[in-house]
Amino acid sequence: MADHRDNWVPVSRNNPCPDRKVVWCGRVSDGALRTNDGGQFLHRLNDDPFTRNPPLPVYKIPSTQAKSPTQDWPALAERFANRAEEHRHRLSRQLGVSATALAALGVGWNIERFCWTFPERDASGQIIGIATRRRDGSKIRMKGGRTGLTYAADWDAGDGPILLVEGGSDTAALLTIGLSTVGRPSNCGGVDHLVGLLSGVDRNREIIVIGERDEKPDGKWPGRDGAVRTAKRLAEELERPIAWALPPDNAKDARGWLNAMPDLLADRLADLFLSGLETTVINPPIVIHPPKANGAVVDVGDWRDQMLQVRLRSLGCPGVYIDASTTGAGKSHVDHAVILRAMGREEAA
């Protein structure tokens, strides 16, 4: 009996399938009449899925979804802060800070995400973003906002030093004991905002960047190194001395120090914190500002002629003469001309 495969013709790229025939295909399963034991699929050529249903061209449909509008951060922060007194008291007990300090910072409660909210501000006081703190202590910033500083409206009240701590909870800790405090968003962050905020501070008032004792096993110390870098940048930008220090009594941070202290009056705690700081002062680099022009503009050639005449009149007149001309005005050129003329006079004599 003849094998049923005797009527099948092998095909290839050079010997394609004849028209209106059936084929066994080892690749395409869609539309197959049946499958054999070898895993091949039976197709009728004119029923081939590639000829019967040719693929349609794919076009990228432009998105019609409008971009989300810019968030009104002040309004959002106010909504979170409203009716959040109970949640602030709960956080104050958890952190060991006063609820009054948290209220001064505008701390609120996001009922949708079950987290506390800390508004972050720019140098003008405008709220530009919101940081959040979950009940397990983890922190994250709300999307769409910008990183800013954490501070109360009266951050510069009083005449004591201004302390720049790291984070909202440390800010609340020092506010609890009545110290002038501004919270940085991270160990090195917020310097541009700080420059604007601190530019009007009396130059006799001390500014201290407070770091953290968070040394790592590999020797890295982000809290300390960030405080040093921040102090250096502020000293350069503000052109004034800036100090840095670590929390007293080997505490990890300002809140850790406060939590370890006995129940004393706020004034006494403030004195203990400040007296325990071992500050290192970073002086700004020397910057020479050129004098501002205070007269009419004079052509450099005319200016050199004037200098020459003044120098000639000074000959034989003992005294101290100061020439405050800027670099490039021609002082050396005039000196040379005066010397030549003086030598000529001596030869003539």
pTM above 0.75, yes or no: no
- Higher-confidence residue: 48 or 173? 173
Q: Does some domain include residue 246?
A: yes
Which band of pLDDT confidence, cut at 50, 70 and 90, is reported for residue 44?
A: low
- Domain-located, residue 133: yes
Structural domain contains residue 207: yes
What distance in Å separates the CA atoms of residue 287 and residue 278, rounded to the nearest whole number?
28
| Domain identity same for 196 and 257 | yes
Average pLDDT, the chain: 85
Same domain? For 135 and 255 the reply is yes
Parent domain of 329:
300-348
pLDDT, tens digit (0-9, with 9 covering 90-100), for 139-189: 999 999 999 999 999 999 988 999 999 999 999 999 999 999 999 999 999
Which CATH number characterizes residue 133's domain? 3.40.1360.10
| Higher pLDDT, residue 34 or 220 | 220
Residue 183 lies in a domain: yes
Tell me, yes or no, whether 87 lies in a domain.
yes
Q: How far apart are CA 170 and CA 97, in angstroms?
A: 9
- Judging by DSSP bridges, how do beta strands 41-44 and 22-25 pair with one another? antiparallel
* Pair (106, 179) in one structural domain: yes
The answer to the question of residue 149 being in a domain is yes
Burial of 349 (0-12, 13-18, 19+ CB in 10 A): exposed
Beta strands 162-166 and 207-210, pairing class? parallel
Q: 267 and 322 in one domain?
A: no
How many domains, in total, are found in the chain?
3
Question: What are the structure tokens assigned to 108, written together?
Answer: 């609120």
pLDDT digits (tens, 9 = 90+) for 86-122: 999 999 999 999 999 999 999 999 999 999 999 999 9
